[in-house]
Amino acid sequence: MHGAMLEVRDVKKSFGGLKAVDGVSISLPRGRITLLIGPNGSGKTTLVNSITGFLRPDSGHVYLEDKEITHWPMHRICKEGMVRSFQLPAPFGGLSVLGNLLVACESACGESLLKCPLKALWKTTEKDNVREAFAMAEAMELTPYWDAVMSETSTGHIKLAEIGRALLAGAKLVILDEPICGVDPVMADEVFSFLIRLRDEQGLTFLVIEHRLDIALKYADYVYVMNQGKLIAQGSVEEVLNDSQVKEVYLGS
Ligand SMILES: Nc1ncnc2c1ncn2[C@@H]1O[C@H](COP(=O)(O)OP(=O)(O)OP(=O)(O)O)[C@@H](O)[C@H]1O
Ligand SMILES: [Mg+2]
């Protein structure tokens, strides 16, 4: 499988008679930001849903670091290191920014009754989690807002916290569905700059779905383009922008 972080082979997903994803194959190299674009309804979210265990693909195969994960449940895929965000962000609105990060900490003890007698261990873990969550808030420059109620912060902060949650959950591959939708241009560049830092400093891999091409294309290492359930182009930003089918879909020319 050439050591790719993720290999998707010939995935198909229909809703009744509608072929939402019609035989799509993509490959995500490690430590790269891959962009998935296409007009509304072209099947981008359905593809992501089908490879992250949110939906069951009708056919095809998905390999994470050469291990087949097709039809695995979402929580197991997440534990394996592939974490995704949703098109409509789902923060824990009533919690603080720090609280939103804490819920994702890999070693969070939760409410396990079995762990109650091990209070000393539990306390240490909780302290470590807070430390870890604070460090993440710092890396994302969210520290000034650490105790703000999540739902009262900006869309950009909510999107950043979502990425932070994925990282704290131990992600090595992060899939983001429209991470800068509704985010102001300055903050949108900050979100992508954060991804660039994570790619360069930690070798993380990203698959990003985005409509705001003016911003997203500046940061992409490789681009896939979907239309009507199929891939119509792939390559560098320049290659894709010069592709006649892409021009037709986006510009009608
Ligand atoms: N649960 C579902 N049931 C029926 N049809 C669906 C379902 N989910 C998606 N579709 C349809 O599948 C097609 C692909 O939708 P999808 O949401 O994957 O597109 P998308 O590329 O993510 O679009 P957008 O850019 O608007 O988010 C669309 O025609 C959509 O209406
Ligand atoms: Mg979508």
pLDDT, the chain, mean: 89
Please check whether residue 218 lies inside any domain of the structure.
yes
Which amino acid appears at position 94 of this protein? G
pLDDT in tens, 35-84: 999 999 999 999 999 999 999 999 999 999 999 999 999 989 988 999 98
Please check whether residue 10 lies inside any domain of the structure.
yes
Please check whether residue 116 lies inside any domain of the structure.
no
Please check whether residue 225 lies inside any domain of the structure.
yes
Q: Are 5 and 82 in contact (CB under 8 A)?
A: no
Cβ 15 under 6 angstroms from ligand 1: yes
Q: Are 166 and 79 in contact (CB under 8 A)?
A: no
CATH number at residue 183: 3.40.50.300
Q: Which two tokens stand for residue 228?
A: 């009507």
Please check whether residue 150 lies inside any domain of the structure.
no
- State the helix-helix crossing angle for 119-139 and 155-168, rounded to 10 degrees: 130
Cβ 56 under 6 angstroms from ligand 1: no
- The pTM (predicted TM-score) of the whole model is 0.89
Please check whether residue 115 lies inside any domain of the structure.
no
Distance CA 91, CA 75 (A): 18
What is the whole-number distance in angstroms between the Cα of residue 96 and the centre of ligand 1?
32
Range of the domain at 81: 6-91+167-251
Pick the range with the lowest mean pLDDT from 11-20, 81-90, 148-157, 210-219: 81-90
Percent of the chain whose predicted confidence (pLDDT) is above 90: 60
Percent of the chain whose predicted confidence (pLDDT) is above 70: 90
What is the whole-number distance in angstroms between the Cα of residue 18 and the centre of ligand 1?
10
Please check whether residue 135 lies inside any domain of the structure.
no
Cβ 84 under 6 angstroms from ligand 1: no
Most confident of 34-38, 96-100, 138-142: 34-38
Please check whether residue 220 lies inside any domain of the structure.
yes
Number of structural domains, the chain?
A: 1
SS3 113: helix
For the chain, what is the radius of gyration of the CA atoms? Answer: 19
